[in-house]
Amino acid sequence: MKEKLTIIKVGGKIVEEEATLNRLLIDFAAIEGNKLLVHGGGRSATKLAAMLGIESKMVNGRRITDAETLKVVTMVYGGLVNKNIVAGLQAKGVNAIGLTGADMDVIRSAKRPVKEVDYGFVGDVKKVNAEQLGDLIRKGLVPVMAPLTHDGNGHILNTNADTIAGETAKSLAQLFDVTLIFCFEKKGVLRDENDDDSVIPQLTRADFDRYVEEGIIQGGMIPKLENSFEALEAGVGKVIITLASAIDGKQGTQITR
Amino acid sequence: MKEKLTIIKVGGKIVEEEATLNRLLIDFAAIEGNKLLVHGGGRSATKLAAMLGIESKMVNGRRITDAETLKVVTMVYGGLVNKNIVAGLQAKGVNAIGLTGADMDVIRSAKRPVKEVDYGFVGDVKKVNAEQLGDLIRKGLVPVMAPLTHDGNGHILNTNADTIAGETAKSLAQLFDVTLIFCFEKKGVLRDENDDDSVIPQLTRADFDRYVEEGIIQGGMIPKLENSFEALEAGVGKVIITLASAIDGKQGTQITR
């Protein structure tokens, strides 16, 4: 039987404010067994970019990453956010190690081809190095992954944190019994976006298709759920979408095949 | 017999300009056997700080690190500079892993006590985790260390890169036959600072004391050499001070006990 591994993805908002970050560190430290954290940092990147006079352009919720923006996200995701989480976890007895995809070649990506939109220095994941990550995890280390990858030719690329979490979960499912938890600002997938308590407790692919058709599920939740179903189909044991203050995965929406 | 390990410290100027960085990556990739790189990044930090309207204050060549400056150095050293080096080395087939002291708890420090000067969030090294670093190195990984440490209580601290290199070399001397190479803008320790070719090929502690007394060695070279002698006394096999374009250690000044 495979050992359990919990992969948690937290959004930018949670890790960028001291109070919510502290709460997260406590909750994450309390999770037993093997674990891995993937974080965002978009709000801090937007803020730093603005301070430097760089305009943040988003298309379909994705950041257009020109050369200057790439520097900003490399500093914010790989430096500020990542290292503060790592130091915070160390203080709680969690032997964290901060990683971008370039470190130990853990995530290789390819620059997204220019079609209708030129996303710039954005990378689509090609390969997650499950063996290296698995080695760290088995030694009791806790990877903390920034949403940055590399192309193998010396370039850092900006990669969506949900995608990093999903691809890492899929790859590590070869070695571990993976539970993937997406944390965000809502209690789960909502039946009514204006009612925080209208959480859908379980969601199958058939439910999802129906809800999308009916317009109940829309916007940024659609790629998140597509990621979730893909992960399940690739062998991830469980996928949960929940509130950041409920990262034990006991609440929220459980996605099932 | 212990395996060999080459530890190279490069200053900010070298890693911050594309042409010199590229040259360094090529030269570093060419070094055979176990290796570890420690980098600075001061010039980029000063530049980013200026763009953000933060004044860079230096005392005795050390940066006064207030809360805002700490964010800047965490972004620049831990993010921008570190990750670009790591991605660059990966492209040259070097399996690099970027680390601050917080990652895997590799370097613990204590905030420098306030005496005549309040350096702010600056850390004096307390302990280098030789075992963790040794594990990585033995697996064929190449640590790339940013000049940041942590205090074990959740705080990142700014630590001089020469100190990181010296302390890491001393600690790893338990496990490896260490050669420590400090690269900078001069060909070595100079007899005449206006004559680039006046390199002192070998320097003992007695020579050093005499040169300091005579005013031949002064300024920032003094702590660098103090570091070097300390490293030798702690078991480091060889210390060399040389030009960044000569990181094979075949030129420059060899420091001997």
pLDDT at B247 over 80: no
Q: Which of B75, B90, B154 sits opposite A105 (nearest CB)?
A: B90
Chain A: nearest CA to B60, how far in angstroms? 26
| ipTM entry | 0.95
Q: Which of B37, B2, B8 is nearest to B175 (CA)?
A: B2
- Pick the closest to residue B147 from B243, B228, B63, B21 (CA basis): B63
Residue A185 has pLDDT above 90, yes or no: no
**Distance in Å, alpha carbon of B27 to nearest chain A alpha carbon:** 15
Distance CA A66, CA A72 (A): 10
Q: What is the mean pLDDT of residues A130-154?
A: 98
φ, ψ of residue A137 to 5 degrees: the values are -60, -40
Confidence of residue B255 (pLDDT cuts 50, 70, 90): very high
> Which of A146-150, A226-230, B12-16, B100-104 comes out lowest in average pLDDT?
B12-16
Q: Are B178 and B234 in contact (CB under 8 A)?
A: no
Mutate to test the interface with A, among B28, B85, B99, B104 (most CBs of A within 10 A): B104
Residue in A87, A90, A100 closest to B83 by CB: A100
Closest-CA residue of chain B to A47: B52
Cβ atoms of residues A7 and A38 within 8 Å: yes
* Residue among A74, A81, A142 with most chain B CBs within 10 A, to mutate: A74
Instruction: Give the model's pLDDT for residue B88.
Output: 97
Q: Give the gap in angstroms from C-alpha B249 to the nearest C-alpha of chain A.
A: 26
Annotation: CATH topology of B4-185: Carbamate kinase (3.40.1160)
Per residue in B166-215, pLDDT (tens digit) is 999 999 999 999 999 999 888 899 998 889 889 999 999 999 999 999 99
The pLDDT of residue A178: 98
pLDDT of residue B19: 87
Per-residue pLDDT band for A11 (boundaries 50, 70, 90) equals confident
Q: Where are the beta strands (DSSP E) in A57-130?
A: 58-59, 62-63, 96-99, 107-111, 123-128
Q: Please spell the DSSP secondary structure of A30-76, one letter per residue.
A: HS-SEEEEEE--HHHHHHHHHHTTPPP-EETTEE-B-HHHHHHHIII
Residue of B nearest to A77 (CA): B79
- Asked if A79's CB is within 8 angstroms of B82's CB, the reply is yes
The strand ranges marked E within B82-191 are 96-99, 107-111, 123-128, 142-145, 148-150, 156-158, 177-184
Residue B192 identity (one-letter amino acid): D
pLDDT the model gives residue B153: 97
The CATH superfamily of A4-255 is Acetylglutamate kinase-like (3.40.1160.10)
Helices (H), chain B: 12-16, 18-30, 42-51, 67-73, 82-91, 130-138, 161-172, 205-213, 221-233
Supply B28's token pair.
Answer: 């570093």
Name the pLDDT band for A223 (thresholds 50, 70, 90): confident
pLDDT in tens, B207-231: 999 999 999 998 888 888 998 999 9
d(CA A20, CA A14): 5
Can you give the pLDDT at residue A218?
86
Six token digits for residue A78 = 């790989």
**Tens digit of pLDDT for each residue in B112-154?**
999 999 999 999 999 999 999 999 999 999 999 999 999 999 9
Q: How many residues comprise chain A?
A: 257
| Best mutation target, A21, A48, A90, to test chain B (most B CBs within 10 A) | A90
Q: What distance in Å separates residue A254's CA from the closest CA in chain B? A: 32
Among B95, B103, B133, B144, most A C-beta atoms within 10 A, so best to mutate, is: B103
**Contact at CB, A79 and B84, closer than 8 angstroms:** no
d(CA B126, CA B145): 16
Tell me the β-bridge partners of B107: B128
Chain B: which residues have CB within 8 Å of chain A? 48, 51-52, 71, 74-80, 82-84, 86-88, 90-92, 95-100, 102-105, 135, 139, 141, 148, 150, 152-156
Which percentage of chain B shows pLDDT scores above 70? 100
At B36, the amino acid letter reads L
- pLDDT score of B27: 93
Q: Which of B178, B196, B188 is nearest to B238 (CA)?
A: B178
Using the structure block, give the residue that is written with the tokens 């999770």: A31
